Amino acid sequence: MNKIKQIIRYHAGGFGSKKISTLTGVSRNVVKQYLKLFASLGKTIAELEVMDERALYELFHPFKNHQIIPDTDRLKRLNEVLPQVVKDLRKRGMTLEKVWLQYIEKDPKGYGRSQFYFYITEFRNRSGITMHIEHKAGDKLFVDFCGDKLQIIDPSTGEEKNVEVFVAILGCSQLTYVEATMTQTLHDFINCCRNSFEFYGGVTRAIVPDNLKAAVTKSSKHEPIVNETFGSFAEHYNTSVLPTRAYKPKDKALVENAVRLVYQRIYTELEGKRFTSIEELNTAIKTSLEKHNNAPLKNAESRMELFEMEEKSTLLALPQLPYHVYKIKEYRVMKNGYVTLHEDRHYYSVPYNYIGRRVRILYNSLLVKVYYQHLLIATHERSYTKNRYTTDQDHLASQYKFLTEWNPEYFVNQANAISEEVALFIERLMESKTHPEMAYKACSGVISLGKRMGNDRLINACKKAIKFGVYHYHFIEDLLKKNIENQDLGDWSEIKPTPSHKNVRGKEYYDYKPHFKQ
């Protein structure tokens, strides 16, 4: 402010702007600006002499006080277009020179390039008010993906593949985690978040992601809708999801700066190196990341040291079991009691009473879980064999079990549990059929008779059937229903043959003889 008073005094003493610049050490253009502003204020030198520092500052630095003094029509016109000019500067490829050329084309009597740049800078300073945020220890984990990708080489084909780079940073200590992953899909994103928690050895109270699809189903500045699966992951780790506001990069300035440092300190070290797998790339990233986290900050302490001293103890404990990422699909149970996982073209059984119901399938690389109205009704190991069936025998209706679990050994074991006679009858019953499966239902029926009418009666009935050499389900059933399994039915070997009679026709009668005229 003393410089301004000196400039005004020299001006009142008759000195020109060039001489004043030499005497005060202020550039000639700035001297002219101050003198021009002094002339527009209508103040006398005496009035300026008695003003305090603050009053002079407000008079000669109106932009710093967030006030615009439109001293000319030209400035008024510029102030009207400045908001749009700043917006245009955000467009890809736009420069200060280009926006000035557009401005001067519309307003030929407007400001020159340097003055135009000055007013843009002042406007940005006034409209870009920011606030320093103190991050609490253990409170937030900021996560994002780098815009630039890294590459791996397929050793079999030599093809170069782009891979994504995930970045996470703690709010307080700024300890950073970096991992390369194949995609930004939900499965890979959740795996990266899980790995970051394991890297830190604990869980923050909130995760702050960008509005990427894997984290947010629908963005909103008031109440964004978090992806259901990502929300389940957060619940498993006893944390919350706080998405940033859409198109508000300052909400995630911490992770944006972390991404910039990753470019500088990790990408540059990997430049020119060839990696043939994602694991090999992550090993190299880990080495560079350790250097970054252990490098001293301005206060001479590294991120790792700050983490150990201030933040590690504040993290929540990790759950006993890590979260397994499940994909979610909805399908209807088919009439045969199976549901199809179309991704693998494989079929999984569900209890037969859910046939026709719409169920939800949760699956990962190991398991397939089937839910009906939030009730778990089936769990299977995942199979990648196409066009095959995975079956839980308890899911099948009784009339279908013979197609899967029933076999000769199964029924012989069931019968042996009752008695040797019943087992012998079952063996003879199956032998009497041309194919064992033809006897499965009959065998099941015989064993069920023991449950209904008692095993002792069934044993006696089987003994009687073996004696007569009759191996049919209905024979056993008749004996038990008529309660004659203990009666003496005689010896069938003593039964006399049918006597000869003119009305009794022998087998010769039924022999085929062609009846046609020669």
Residue 180 or 491, more confident: 180
The fold adopted by the segment(s) 140-314 is: Nucleotidyltransferase; domain 5 (3.30.420)
Percent of all residues in the chain with a pLDDT value above 90, rounded to a whole number: 14
> Predicted confidence band at 74 (pLDDT cuts at 50, 70, 90)?
confident
pLDDT of amino acid 111: 85
Other beta carbons within 10 angstroms of residue 85's beta carbon come to: 19
Per-residue b or e along 3-41, where b marks 16 or more CB atoms closer than 10 Å to that residue's CB: ebeebbebbeeebebeebbeebebeeeebeebbebbeee
Query: Has residue 191 got a pLDDT over 50?
Result: yes
Lowest-confidence region among 119-133, 472-486, 490-504: 490-504
Strand partners, 144: 167
Contact 58, 65 (CB under 8 A): yes
- Mean pLDDT of the 364-375 span: 85
**Which band of pLDDT confidence, cut at 50, 70 and 90, is reported for residue 14?**
confident
Contact 224, 256 (CB under 8 A): no
Boundaries of every domain in the chain: 2-60, 73-127, 140-314, 327-397, 406-494
The reported pLDDT for the residue numbered 167 is 92
CA 189 – CA 216 distance, rounded (Å): 12
Higher pLDDT, 35 or 287: 287
Residue with tokens 């299977």: 380
**What mean pLDDT is predicted for residues 179-208?**
88
The mean pLDDT of 3-28, rounded to a whole number, is 78
Q: Is the dihedral of CA 118, 124, 129, 130 positive or negative?
A: negative
In the predicted structure, residue 245 carries a pLDDT above the cut 50 = yes
The whole-number pLDDT of residue 437 equals 61
Angle at 418 between CA 415 and CA 423, to 5 degrees: 35
Q: In what order do the strands lie in the sheet with 346-349?
A: 338-341, 346-349, 389-390
CA distance 446 to 421: 12
Confidence of residue 496 (pLDDT cuts 50, 70, 90): low
Residue 370 has pLDDT above 90, yes or no: yes
Confidence of residue 91 (pLDDT cuts 50, 70, 90): low
pLDDT for the residue 132: 46
